[in-house]
Structures are given as C-alpha cells and as structure tokens.
Amino acid sequence: MLGSPLNNTRGARVKTRNHMRLLFDSRSENESFARVAVSAFMSQLSPTIEEMSDVKTAVSEAVTNAIVHGYRDTFGEVEIESSLTHDGYVVIEVSDAGCGIEDIERAMTPFFTSQPDMERAGMGFAVMKTFMDDLRVESRLGEGTRVTMRKLISNAAGKQ
Amino acid sequence: MLKHARQGNTVTVKLDGELDQNSAARVRRELDDLISDARIKHLVLDMQDLTFMDSSGIGVVIGRYRALATRGGGVAVRGESSHVRRIMKLSGLYSILEEAR
C-alpha cells in the first residue's frame, strides 16, 4: 500500500478524538460490512440520516473501486482508516495495494469507466466528490491507491 | 426472486435491501429474466423498500433501459428515497427514465 498507514496517523491520532483501522479481504461481500462499520464508528458524531447515507455511499464507492479496479483479477486486502476530529469531521481513507490508477484525472471524469462491458456507470468518484466535502486520490502504478475523504458532521461541528 | 407483477407489456419489480456492486449481478440477472419475453416493453422499478443504493444501481438501470429501448420501451422508477434520487440525478438518469404510474 502507499506509505505506511502507521506513519500516516501517528501524528494525527493525537489531534483526533477517535480513530479506527479496518483491514479486510477484497471480496464484494465486504462492501456492506465496510459501510456498516464506518457508519457505526461515525455515529459518535451524531450525524443526520442524510449525512450517514452520504458517507455510507462514498465508502461503498471507494471500497468497490478498490475491489473491482484496484485488485481487478487479483486478490488482496482493503484498508479503511477513519478519524473523528475535534472540529467535527469524519475523515476516511480507503487504501488498496492493487494495480494503481494510470490517469487519475481521467478516472475521476464522470461516466468514464475502464470496464464498460460490466455495466459500470463510471460514477464512483463523482458520487464521492458530491457526497463528501473533500476528496483526494493518490495512486502509483503497481503499488496501489489511496482515497482520502472528509465530511463535516453538522451536529459535531465546532464542538471541542 | 424479486417480487414482481406483469400487466400487459409492463413488468413492475419491487427492489429491496441493498443494491451495491455485490448484489448488482444477482439483481441484473433476475431483472433480465423478468423482461426476457420480447413482448415486454416497460419495466417499472419500485424502490420503496430499497434501503441502500450506490452507483452500481445506475449501471443496473441503464443496462435494462438499453435492452428495452430497442423494443421501443424503457424503464421507470418509483418510490425512490431522496438519497437514491440524488445519485440518479447526478448521473442524469432521469433524462432517460419513463414516467412511472
């Protein structure tokens, strides 16, 4: 995977009010597990039903991408790391150690799909972008992809 | 099997549970089965009991639309939650959907 997740959060953990990390097999069955796990974790911030749906959908898209595109015909592990910040954000990183994305800009273009015959809509990144406040995608060919997204949870905003 | 009803050249199917990449293959297969009779022109997807959908659902709808459009028909959607509506709007799906009811 891209960099060490440990290094990635060691500093951040001090600044966050809570943090978790999940590692699971790149099986489609785990998409719903990932959604439920993240929504249970973020429920500490008392999100609205709509905020919860937004995050669940974004997580679903990112995990699906990791399984379907990152690992394509191979198999590996998907990692989700999530933090709840003191200023009310849920931060979610979804990483895989798969094939990586050759052209991130193209991959993020709505309706672009590398697998049109599979009836994929090519809307994964567009959904993540719309439903979350920030979206960052880092990828290296042959090494993997990491999607970092963030959303402000209104009920937790500004509370220290 | 998904709950469904046929009336003339229209099949109404009730989607339930979660529609994601994992369940999309099964839903796609069942829907294709239900519209396999070439006399069927219209598919109505009742989404009232759908508890979750991500962009995998868009692919499912577009795929069925393509099949039915060649027969001069199409797909309609009803009962969708505001969340599903946002996903479908984002992808411009409403421009190809038929009027339900």
Domain count, chain A: 1
State mean pLDDT over B77-92: 93
Residues from chain B contacting residue A29 (CB–CB below 8 Å):
22
CATH of the domain at A71: 3.30.565.10
Output the pTM of the full model.
Answer: 0.91
B24 domain residue, yes or no? yes
CA dihedral A65, A41, A76, A149 (to 10 degrees): 40
A112-156 pLDDT, tens digit per residue, is 887 776 677 788 999 999 999 999 999 999 999 999 999 999 999
Domain count, chain B: 1
> CA A63 → CA A32, A127, B46, B48, distances in Å?
10, 13, 27, 25
CATH of the domain at B69: 3.30.750.24
SS3 annotation, A4-70: CHHHHHHHHHHHEEEEEEEEEECCCCHHHHHHHHHHHHHHHHCCCHHHHHHHHHHHHHHHHHHHHHH
**CA-based nearest distance A94→chain B, Å:** 16
Residues of the domain holding B87: 3-95
Interface list for chain A against chain B, based on CB atoms closer than 8 Å? 28-29, 31-32, 35, 50, 53-54, 56-57, 60-61, 64, 67-68, 110-111, 118-121, 123-124, 126-127, 130-131
The rounded distance, in Å, linking the Cα atoms of A108 and B83 is: 21
Interface list for chain B against chain A, based on CB atoms closer than 8 Å? 18, 20-22, 24, 28, 52, 54-56, 58-60, 62-63, 82-83, 86-87, 90-91
Residues from chain B contacting residue A118 (CB–CB below 8 Å):
59
B61 domain residue, yes or no? yes
The predicted pLDDT at position A160 comes to: 57
ipTM: 0.91
Q: Are A112 and A120 in contact (CB under 8 A)?
A: no
Strands B10-19 vs B42-53: parallel, antiparallel or unpaired:
parallel
Residues of the domain holding A126: 5-11+20-156
